[in-house]
Every structure is written in C-alpha cells, then in structure tokens.
C-alpha cells in the first residue's frame, strides 16, 4: 500500500516535473546572457594607495568565489602591495585591520601589472583592439551574450580618473569606449562600479543601452577610506568597497539577491559619501537583475532524466510587469546610432569682413587729419 | 643725402628679403627674445583665423593685438613681409628726417649761443660743426636698419616693427612742430601699448619751447597749451577706442589688450624683468608687486623731465630706453629703436666712461641668450635661473648704457657752462661726479 502511494506520488512528481520543465524551458532564455566576464582595475600605485589594490582584490575574490574563472577575469593592478618592501606582512593584502581576510589568497592571477595599467591598455581591453600578439589572458573575449562587470578604483575627480599618477581617463572617453563595445556587440549587459572621489561623474556621460552604473560618491563628494591598520601603517580599504565586500560575502551562487539590494549597500551613515547609481540605460527592471548575473557565473542547468519535446516555439518567461517609465524601445543594432548628429558638419567658412561703418569712419578721420595738417589747399588737387 | 639713404634702404630690404626666403625665418619667429605674446605673428594669424570662424579673437588667451591691427592685417595678411619691411623703411626714413631737423636746430641754437658769448673760452673743442654732423642722419638710419635686432624682429614679423614705426612718426611730427599730428601719433602709440604715454612730457616740453611758450607752471599759457594738447590727445584716443569698438562690436579687446599689458598674466620668459619675479611670487603679493613694477616705468618721467627741461630730445631718448627696459613684455625690437639714436650723441664719446664694458656685456648677453635657452629647455642641464641671470645682466647693461649717456650729456652741458678744465677755488684740478 505504502509502496503504491509512494509510486503514485513519484510518478505524479515526475510527470509534473516534466510538464514543468517543458513549460519552464522558457525560463532558460529569460535573462539573456550566457557567460560572465569581469574587468577589475586598480589605477593607483605607491604604498599609500594600498587600499585601492585591496579594493580590487576583494572584488576579484568575490567574483572568483561566485564562479567566474580566471580566464574570464581581466585583473589590472597598478602596483604590487603584497610584495612591496614596505609590507610588514609580505604576500598578504588585508581588507580589515584585524587581519580577518587576506584578499590576496593563494591563487591570484594578475593580467596587467605595474606600468602596463595605462589608459590605452584599459581602453584597448574594453574595445578589443589589441595587437595580435596579445595573449588570451589579457584579452576581453566577450560576445553579445556576455554580462560584464567593470570595477574601477583609484583617485578621481569630476569627470576623470587618474591612472598611475601621470594620465587620466575622462568620462567621455569611457562612454565612447562602451559605445564601441555596444556597436561591436561585445556585451549583453554591463555593470559598472567605480569607487573613487566624485565617482558619479564617471557615469554621467554613458549613452549606450544596457548599462547599469554604481558609484561610491556623488559629484563634489570625496570617497573616504575605512580604518587604517597601525601595524601595516596605511588605510586598508575604502568604505564603499568594504561594505560591498561585506555584502558580497553573504552572496552564494544560488542567491536570489538583486540589484536593488546592491543599491542599498553603504548608506550615507556608513559611507559618509552618498553612493549613486544609474539605471536609466538598463532595459530590464533592476529588481529582476540578480547579483549573480554579474558577480557570478551561474549556469542555468537543470538535470532531468527525460526527453523534452521542444517543437513548440519557446516563449520568453513573462517578466515582472514593468512600470511605465521603464518601458523602453529595444534597440536593434542597426538604427541606434544617430550618425548625422554625431558627425559634426564642418561650418561653412565665411570670411569675416570689417563693418563698412568702421572703414568709412577710419578713413574719414585719416583724411581729416591729413587736411588739417597740410591745409585745405591740397583739396583742389584731389577734386 | 637722398642717394646714400636710398642705397641703405635697398641694402636693408635685400637683407630682410634674403632672410625671409631662407629657413631661418621660422626659427627666428619662435625665439622668445624676438617675439612676445603681445607681438607674435603666429598669434595675429591665429586671431584672424578665429575671426573667420566666427569666434571673437579675444576669447581665450591667444590674441592680444588691438582691433586696428586686425583691420590692418585683414587685408594685408598675404603681404605681411612687405608690410613689415615697409614699416622698417618708414621708421628709418622718419628717424632720418627727425635727426636732420634736430641737428639743424641744435646747430642754430649753438650759433646763437656762440654769438651771445655764452660759452667759456676753453670749451670750444666741445662745439659741434656741421661737417661732423653731416652724416649723423644717415648713421641713425643705418643704425636702425642694419641693427641685427631690427632685422631679427622684422624677419620674425613681430608687430613691434609697427609700434616702432608709429613711435618714429610721433617723434618726427613732434620735431617738426606739428601739434595735432604729434597728439594723434602719440594716441596711436599709446593705443598700441600703454607705455608711450610717458613720452608726452617730452613732446610737450619740446613743442612749448618751439613755440616759445615759457615752461613755467605759474604761467597761464603753459596750462593752456597743455590743455590744448591734452584735448587733442584724449580726443583722438577716444575716437580710436570707439572706432575699435565698432570694428568687432564689443569691448572685449580692452581687457585682452590693456588688461594683459598691465596685469601680466603670461609669464613666458623674455628679455624683461617681469616673468621670473611673477613666477616665483605668492598670489597675495602679486597685486602689490604688479603696481610696483608698473609704476617703475612711469616713475622716471617727472624727475627726468625736470632735469632735462632744456633738452627734450634727449629726454625722448631716455624715456624710450626706460620704456624698453621696464615694460612688461620687451623684445629686441624695442631696444633697436632707442639704440638707433646713439649716433645723435656721438659727440659725447669722450665723456662716456663705461662704454667698453657695456658694449661687451650687451654683445655677450645677446650671444648667450639662445645658448642658455637651449641648455634650459632642450638639454635640461640649466634652469630658469641661468636664463634670468642673462636677462638681468642684459637689462643692467642697458641701464648702464643709458645712465652713462645721461652722465656724459649732463657733463658736457656742465662744461659748456663752466668751462672744460674745472678748477676748485684754490686752483687745483676738480673732478665732476654725477650724484
């Protein structure tokens, strides 16, 4: 009897499962991305910028823990803190003063190190315009189904980010690089996080679709660092990334936390600066975008023992009804570039000519002075 | 004297034309000693190009010329070389005619003084004769045209050549006694760069003496003449300024030209004294030092004009020298103008004390300017102190030159009054010291 109930339950379970799988096959195609990439950049060098390297390494650690492999991470560190002469604890980079967390770990793979971290290299990585001799580990080999996480940290200002204390990248250049990526179909969705002073200025100029941006401070505000460690002697991390790391430590690959939770990370009471975010270019509702869509590499895999009939056309799973303002026209690659607005027409050269009144006045005066000096008697020679 | 002058003009024009065609023209037009932000030809072309694009040329820090220059070069930009050569020729001819007239007057005054027995007997060797003064005008024209400074300035197409032409015409009209033209040219010269304002004292003195108005501040005719001259000067300045407003329809040029000259924002090294000081200065002292430096240019007018009341042409020479040394953006073209006057005072050579030292220092510094510039900017083995040292030395040499001539002039006047061999009351030989 029990076996029969069990068997009937099992069969109903199986049958419902199979029906579910067929009906839910649409869910496999709802999020749009099939692979994840991460570009993590630390732009500052010198020992006192320890915290920027720690920032980047902590995001690297989270991203790797959540599943993105090293082959899909481009890690650019402008300086080497772990093996710096001034590091009292060599081969470690800590995130908190109690040395709780060594973000350097055992298997860090740095792709661009030291002086290789330049604006040119960064932009070349993003746009893919690298010389043919560049090894694969240094390339961002994304395609149009890739979700990319880009994390920048360093010293910045209103509209620029300083690289290596000698050059800077502007928000316009960054926006243009992302537009190039869009046109070359190098991303499906892109999450841009920046932890610098006045970081919000860096995402102000974005104009490509499917970008979401977060910054640690608004224009006019400085991003502050967390506590210093008295043994190491420098500030270990920046506040925003510290609380971001804390938040990410609670995320596991099956977590359903979404972007709205990420926006709440580090409120003003903890961060002192006001973190900002920008979602107007992002076509989905941020609430439907999972953290693991960007920070992890979650494969949609469901194991089933039966064959599934996919002859019916797969419909996309219904998404949450979007509010009016988020209803956007989906861009196609062809017609989203207003060429005539972007290519400036050269203004027609019309020569400037001095006004006639001026010429008249000047020569009248000259003639007046001439005749006053030399007398009216010369007048009869003219007329 | 027309023939030698024409020959000289042809030689000068040939030299300039030859240099224009050579590759040196580009090299010279970038030298900071020859062009300044006020006078550079590159900036004139840039301003005209901006105007063609519909932008005011005074936006940004590029163009610091007056609107009359815009008008002038709008039509002549293709003939720029001929224009600058012509400007040099006009300056030389004007100086020639000036000095000829001046010599005539000097000789006439000397004749009257001789007849009135005003000179002591033993200073007859100081009296000048027409024979020795015959070639002075030609020498003045030659000193101006064949001076390497002038040639460099002309080849670089620096608008300093035009400023010099206006100043030379001003001096010419003053010497000829034409009050209106003198006021008009002075207002033009002041309109171009503010500093020739100091020459008005000399012009007033000269014109008053020429019209036999006594130079006495208690007399009404003195003030009446000053009022007339001031009215003509201010009137023509006002007319020129308003006309410049009508050219572009805005008053932008006032801060760009006069604000630039007076507040010295551009600290590119040149042969003047301002750049190094102001590069080192703290911001809160800047206004104070700016006032000090600018007053320094205008300050010598009153004492010099009191001392040189009887000799306004020498006063003009000294004022030109003071302007060229202490102005905010001097170039070698400014120096060339007052150096052209040196043959006029060639009779003073026996009283000059430091002329060998001064000429050696001037020559050496002129040669060292490009060397130390190269060492500082290109080789990196010197720094700005080296270049400023040469600048300082150059200016000190110029000041020494001018004060030496001042000393010699006053000494000659003293001898002409008191005799050549001075004796103290007890009969022993006395020496004359400039205090």
Supply the CATH number for residue A58's domain. Answer: 3.40.50.1460
User: What percent of chain B shows pLDDT beyond 90?
Assistant: 63
Q: What is the pLDDT of residue A13?
A: 54
Instruction: Assign residue A198 a region (left: φ > 0; alpha: ψ between -120 and 50; beta: otherwise).
Output: left
Higher per-residue confidence, B431 vs A175: A175
Single out the catalytic residue among A42, A52, A96, A197: A197
- Measure A341 CA to nearest chain B CA, in Å: 21
Confidence of residue B114 (pLDDT cuts 50, 70, 90): confident
∠B400-B403-B408 over CA atoms, to 5°? 120
Please report whether residue A59 resides in a domain.
yes
Question: For residue A235, what are the domain limits?
Answer: 33-295
Span A201-237, pLDDT tens digits: 999 889 888 899 999 988 888 888 888 888 888 888 8
Q: Which two tokens stand for residue B141?
A: 């024209």
Per-residue pLDDT for B325 more than 60? yes
User: Taking CA atoms, what residue in A is nearest to B184?
Assistant: A369
Chain A: nearest CA to B243, how far in angstroms? 6
Cα angle: B378, vertex B380, B386; to 5 degrees: 100
Q: Tens digit of pLDDT for each residue in A164-209?
A: 888 999 999 999 999 999 999 899 999 999 999 888 899 988 988 8
Please give the Cα distance from B271 to B286 (Å, whole number): 20
As given in the structure block, the two tokens for residue B106 are 């000097």
Which residues of A are less than 8 Å from B239 in CB distance?
365
Backbone angles phi, psi at A93, to 5 degrees: -135, 115
Spatial contact of A59 and A238, defined as CB atoms under 8 Å apart: no
Nearest CA to A148 among A62, A27, A247, A34?
A34
Phi/psi at A211 (5° precision): -115, 135
- Chain A residues 57-86 within an 8 A CB cutoff of chain B: none
Residue of B nearest to A361 (CA): B243
DSSP structure class, residue B55: S
Does the distance separating the beta carbons of B71 and A358 come in below 8 Å? yes
Q: Do the beta carbons of residue A362 and residue B239 sit within 8 Å?
A: no
Q: Which residue has the higher pLDDT, A284 or A1?
A: A284
Reported as type and span, the H/E element at residue B9 is helix B2-21
Strand partners, A214: A193, A277
pLDDT for residue B195 is more than 60:
yes
Q: Phi/psi of residue A163, each to 5°?
A: -110, 120
Q: Does the predicted interface ipTM exceed a cut of 0.90?
A: no
Residues whose CB is less than 8 angstroms from the CB of residue A193 and which lie 6 or more positions away in sequence, other chains included: A59, A149, A150, A151, A152, A213, A214, A215, A244
Q: Please report the DSSP string for B210-249 in residue order.
A: HTT----TT-HHHHHHHHHHHHHHHHHHHHHHHHHHHHHT
Q: Does A358 touch chain B (CB under 8 A)?
A: yes
pLDDT of residue A283: 83
Residue A380 has pLDDT above 80, yes or no: no
Residue A312: pLDDT band (50, 70, 90) is: low
For chain A, the average pLDDT equals: 81
Interface probe for A, chosen from B45, B56, B71 (most Cβ of A below 10 Å), is B71
With respect to residue A260, please indicate whether it lies within any of the assigned structural domains. yes
Region of residue B70 (left: phi > 0; alpha: psi -120 to 50; beta: else): alpha
What's the number of domains chain A is made of?
Answer: 1
Supply the pLDDT for residue A377: 65
Nearest 5°: the CA angle B4, B7, B10 is 155
Tokens matching residue B47: 């301003």
Residue A23 pLDDT:
62
With cut-offs at 50, 70 and 90, classify the pLDDT of residue B18: very high
Task: Give the pLDDT score at A27.
Answer: 61
Q: What pLDDT is recorded for position A175? A: 93
Output the average pLDDT for chain B: 90
Segment A153-160 mean pLDDT: 91
Structure tokens at B403: 């004060």
Q: Which residues lie closer than 8 Å to A229 by C-beta, 6 or more apart?
A: A94, A97, A99, A235, A236
At residue B418, the pLDDT reads: 81
**Is there a domain that residue A66 lies in?**
yes
Place of tokens 């804390």: A246
Residue B337 has pLDDT above 90, yes or no: yes
The answer, yes or no, to whether residue A297 has pLDDT greater than 70, is yes
Residue at A336 is within a domain: no
Cβ–Cβ contact B53 with A under 8 A: yes
Check if A372 contacts B (Cβ < 8 Å): yes
- For residue B247, list chain A residues with Cβ-Cβ distance below 8 A: 354-355, 358
Tell me which chain A residue has its CA closest to the CA of residue B180.
A373
SS3 labels along chain A: CHHHHHHHHHHHHHHHHHHHHHHHHHHHHCCCCCEEEEEEEECCCCHHHHHHHHHHHHHHHHHHHCCCCHHHEEEEECCCCCCCCCCCCCCCCECCCCCCCECCCCCCCCCEEHHHCCHHHHHHHHHCCCCCCCCHHHCCCCCCCEEEEEEEECEEECCEEEECCCEEEEHHHHHHHHHHHHHCCCCCEEEEEEECCCHHHHHCCCCCCCEEEEECCCCCCCCCECCECCCCCCECCEHHHHHHHHHHHCCCCCCCCEHHHHHCCCCHHHHCCCCEEECCCCCCCHHHCECHHHHCCCCCCCCCCCCCCCCCCCCCCCCCCCCHHHCCCCCCCCCCCCHHHHCCCCCCCCCCCCCHHHHHHHHHHHHHHHHHHHCHHHHHHHC
Q: What is the DSSP letter of B273?
A: S
Mutual orientation of helices B80-115 and B160-176 as an angle, nearest 10°?
A: 30
pLDDT confidence band for B369 (50 / 70 / 90): very high
pTM beyond 0.80: the answer is: no
In a 3-state reduction of DSSP, which class is residue B311? coil
Residue A269 has pLDDT above 90, yes or no: no
φ and ψ of B159, to 5 deg:
-70, 0
**Strand partners of residue A244:** none
Task: Please compute the mean of the pLDDT values over residues B63-69 and round it to a whole number.
Answer: 91
The minimal CB distance from A361 to the residues B51, B70, B243 is found for B243
Separation between Cα atoms, residue B373 and residue A154, nearest integer Å: 39
Q: For residues B89 and B120, which has the higher predicted lDDT (pLDDT)?
A: B89
Name the DSSP letter for residue B255: I
B30: Cβ contacts below 8 Å, ≥ 6 apart: none
pLDDT score of B17 more than 50: yes
Task: Give the residue-averaged pLDDT of B403-429.
Answer: 80
Q: Which residues of chain B have a CB within 8 Å of the CB of A365?
A: 239, 243
In chain B, where the domains are located: 1-39+83-358
Longest dimension (CA), chain B: 80
**Residue A222, min C-alpha distance to chain B (Å):** 27
Question: pLDDT (tens digit, 9 = 90+) per residue, A4-38?
Answer: 666 666 555 555 554 566 666 666 666 678 889 99
Higher pLDDT, A194 or B123: A194
End-to-end CA gap in chain B? 41
Q: What is the mean pLDDT of residues B60-66?
A: 89
Answer whether A357 sits within 8 Å of B52, measured CB to CB.
no
Query: What local confidence, expressed as pLDDT, does residue A369 receive?
Result: 85
What would the mean pLDDT of B354-367 be, rounded to a whole number? 94
Better-predicted residue by pLDDT, B155 or A29: B155
Q: Is position A197 annotated as part of the catalytic site?
A: yes
CB contact under 8 A, A355 and B246: yes
Question: Which two tokens mark A240?
Answer: 């925003």
Q: CB under 8 Å to A140, separation ≥6 — which residues?
A: A37, A39, A74, A125, A126, A128, A148, A186
User: Higher-confidence residue: A323 or A355?
Assistant: A355
Report, as an integer, the average pLDDT of B241-253: 88
């Amino acid at each position: 009897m029990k076996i029969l109930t069990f068997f009937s339950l099992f069969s109903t379970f199986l049958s419902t499962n199979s029906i579910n799988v067929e009906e839910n096959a649409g869910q496999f195609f709802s999020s749009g991305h099939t692979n994840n990439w991460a570009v993590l950049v630390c732009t500052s060098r010198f020992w006192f910028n320890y915290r920027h390297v720690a920032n980047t390494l902590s995001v690297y650690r989270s991203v790797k823990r959540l599943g993105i492999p090293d082959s899909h991470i481009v890690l650019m560190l402008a300086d080497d803190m772990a093996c710096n002469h001034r590091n009292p604890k060599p081969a470690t980079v800590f995130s908190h003063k109690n040395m709780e967390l060594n973000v350097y770990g055992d298997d860090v793979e740095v792709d661009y190190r030291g002086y290789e971290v330049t604006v040119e290299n960064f932009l070349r990585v993003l746009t893919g315009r690298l010389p043919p001799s560049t090894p694969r580990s240094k390339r961002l080999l994304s395609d149009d189904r890739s979700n990319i996480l880009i994390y920048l940290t360093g010293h910045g200002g209103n509209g620029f980010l300083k690289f290596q204390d000698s050059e800077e990248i502007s928000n316009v250049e960054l926006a243009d690089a992302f537009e190039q990526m869009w046109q070359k179909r190098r991303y499906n969705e892109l999450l841009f996080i920046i932890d610098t002073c006045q970081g919000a200025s860096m995402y102000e100029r974005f104009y490509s679709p499917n970008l979401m941006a977060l910054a640690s401070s608004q224009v006019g505000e400085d991003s502050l660092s967390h506590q210093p460690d008295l043994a190491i002697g420098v500030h270990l991390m920046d506040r925003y990334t510290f609380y971001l790391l804390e938040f990410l430590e609670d995320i596991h690959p099956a977590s359903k936390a979404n972007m709205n939770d990420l926006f709440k990370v580090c409120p003003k009471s903890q961060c002192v600066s006001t973190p900002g975010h920008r979602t107007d270019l992002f076509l989905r509702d941020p609430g439907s975008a999972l953290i693991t869509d960007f920070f992890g590499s979650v494969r949609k895999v469901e194991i089933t023992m039966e064959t599934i009939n996919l002859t019916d056309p797969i419909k996309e799973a219904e998404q949450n009804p979007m509010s009016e303002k988020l209803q956007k026209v989906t861009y196609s690659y062809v017609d989203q570039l207003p060429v005539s607005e972007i290519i400036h027409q050269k203004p027609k050269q019309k020569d400037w000519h001095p006004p006639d009144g001026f010429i008249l006045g000047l020569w009248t005066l000259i003639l007046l002075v001439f005749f006053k000096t030399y007398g009216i008697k010369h007048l009869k020679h003219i007329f | 004297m027309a023939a030698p002058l024409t020959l000289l003009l042809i030689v000068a024009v040939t030299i300039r034309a030859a240099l224009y065609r050579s590759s040196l023209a580009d090299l010279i037009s970038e030298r900071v000693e020859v062009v300044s932000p006020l006078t550079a030809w590159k900036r004139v072309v840039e301003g005209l190009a901006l105007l063609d694009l519909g932008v005011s040329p005074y936006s940004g820090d590029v163009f610091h010329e007056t609107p009359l220059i815009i008008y002038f070069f709008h039509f002549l930009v293709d003939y720029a070389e001929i224009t600058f050569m012509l400007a040099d020729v006009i300056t030389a001819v004007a100086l020639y005619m000036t000095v000829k007239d001046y010599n005539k007057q000097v000789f006439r005054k000397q004749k009257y003084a001789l007849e009135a027995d005003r000179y002591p007997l033993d200073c007859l060797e100081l009296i000048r004769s027409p024979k020795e003064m015959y070639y002075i005008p030609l020498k003045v024209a030659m000193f101006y045209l064949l001076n390497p400074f002038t040639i460099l300035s002309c080849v670089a197409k620096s608008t300093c050549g035009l400023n010099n032409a206006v100043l030379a015409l001003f001096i010419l009209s003053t010497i000829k006694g034409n009050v209106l033209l003198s006021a008009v040219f002075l207002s033009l010269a002041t309109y171009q760069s503010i500093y020739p304002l100091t020459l008005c004292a000399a012009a007033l003195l000269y014109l008053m003496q020429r019209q036999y108005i006594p130079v006495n501040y208690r007399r009404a005719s003195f003030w009446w003449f000053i009022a007339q001259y001031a009215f003509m000067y201010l009137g023509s300045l006002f007319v020129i300024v308003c006309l410049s407003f009508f050219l572009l329809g805005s008053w932008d040029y006032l801060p760009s030209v006069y604000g630039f000259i007076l507040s010295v924002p551009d600290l590119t090294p040149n042969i003047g004294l301002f750049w190094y000081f102001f590069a080192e200065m703290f911001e809160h002292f800047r206004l104070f030092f700016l006032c000090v430096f600018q007053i320094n240019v205008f300050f010598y007018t009153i004492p010099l004009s009191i001392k040189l009341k009887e000799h306004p042409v020498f006063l003009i020479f000294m004022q030109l020298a003071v302007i060229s040394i202490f102005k905010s953006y001097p170039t070698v073209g400014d120096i060339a103008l007052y150096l052209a006057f040196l043959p006029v005072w060639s009779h003073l050579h026996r009283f000059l004390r430091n002329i060998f030292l001064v000429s050696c220092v001037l020559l050496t510094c002129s040669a060292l300017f490009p060397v130390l510039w190269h060492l500082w900017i290109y080789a990196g083995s010197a720094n700005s102190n080296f270049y400023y040292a040469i600048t300082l030395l150059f200016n000190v040499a110029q000041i020494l030159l001018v004060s030496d001539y001042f000393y010699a002039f006053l000494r000659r006047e003293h001898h002409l009054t008191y005799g050549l061999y001075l004796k103290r009351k007890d009969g022993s030989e006395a020496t004359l010291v400039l205090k």
